[in-house]
């Protein structure tokens, strides 16, 4: 599992650059990121290489954030891999709250039951020869 930070930024040119520069100045590497614009603001979800440093950097910059645990999952890069995982989670009654890709090609998955989702992902990976779920 990994810690995902969710940050609200202004919906304006340069806002994402400001956030990325804040992290870079503190030696923090962004390992996965998803950002989207909503009316009047941007929502950034990210995983970094150092949770404690990220907390300190965001706090020092006055940036409000929330955290949650997510899974990092290795899937084979082939048609149907995500479909198999999503179908298995759906069949188990697990709701996917977010999905995006890390810089290393792992699936970042937020779900309403992470422990069960992780077990299912491990089963899918082993059945189809994918590397195991990342930490």
What distance in Å separates the CA atoms of residue 69 and residue 119, rounded to the nearest whole number? 15
For 84, phi then psi, to 5°, come to: -60, -45
pLDDT in tens, the chain (135 residues): 999 999 999 999 999 999 999 999 999 999 999 999 888 899 999 999 999 999 999 999 999 999 999 999 998 888 999 999 999 999 999 999 999 999 999 999 999 999 999 999 998 877 655 555 554
Q: Strand pairing partners for 105? A: none
CB-CB contact of 131 with 125 (8 Å) = yes
CATH topology of domain 70-127: Alpha-Beta Plaits (3.30.70)
CB-CB contact of 94 with 111 (8 Å) = yes
Q: Where in the chain is the domain with CATH 3.30.2130.10?
A: 2-68
- If one counts every other C-beta atom within 10 angstroms of the C-beta of residue 83, the result is 9
2-68 belongs to which homologous superfamily?
VC0802-like (3.30.2130.10)
């Amino acid at each position: 599992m990994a810690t995902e930070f969710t940050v609200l930024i202004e919906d304006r040119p340069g806002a994402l650059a400001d956030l990325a520069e804040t992290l870079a100045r503190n030696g923090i590497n962004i390992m996965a990121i998803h950002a989207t614009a909503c009316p009047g603001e941007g929502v950034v979800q990210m995983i970094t290489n150092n949770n404690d440093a990220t907390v300190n950097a965001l706090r020092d910059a006055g940036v409000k954030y929330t955290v949650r645990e997510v899974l990092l999952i290795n899937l084979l890069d082939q048609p149907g891999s995500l479909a198999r995982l999503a179908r298995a989670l759906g069949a188990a009654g697990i709701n996917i709250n977010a999905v995006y890709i890390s810089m290393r090609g792992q699936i970042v998955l937020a779900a309403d039951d992470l422990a069960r989702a992780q077990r299912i992902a491990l089963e899918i990976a082993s059945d189809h020869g994918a590397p195991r779920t990342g930490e």
